[in-house]
Amino acid sequence: MGMQAALHLIYPPQCLTCDALVTTDFGLCGHCWRETPFVTGLVCDQCGVPLPGEDSGQPEHCDDCLTIARPWSQGRAAMLYKDNARRMVLALKHGDRLDLARPAAGWMLRAAQPLLVPGMLVAPIPLHWLRLIKRRYNQAALLSGALAKMAGLDHCPDLLIRQRYTGSQEGRDRDSRFANLATALTVHPRRANRVEGRHILLVDDVMTSGVTFAAAAEACIAAGASGVSVLALARVAKDG
- Check pLDDT > 50 for residue 198: yes
Burial track 59-87 (b if 16+ CB lie within 10 A, e otherwise) = ebbbebbeebebbbbbbbbbbbbbebbbb
Percentage of the chain modeled with pLDDT above 70: 85
What length is written for the chain? 240
Task: Identify the pLDDT of residue 177.
Answer: 64
Indicate the SS3 state at residue 201: strand
Q: Torsions phi, psi of 101, nearest 5?
A: -60, -40
The answer to which of 5-19, 48-62, 153-167, 219-233 has the lowest mean pLDDT is 5-19
- Check pLDDT > 50 for residue 178: yes
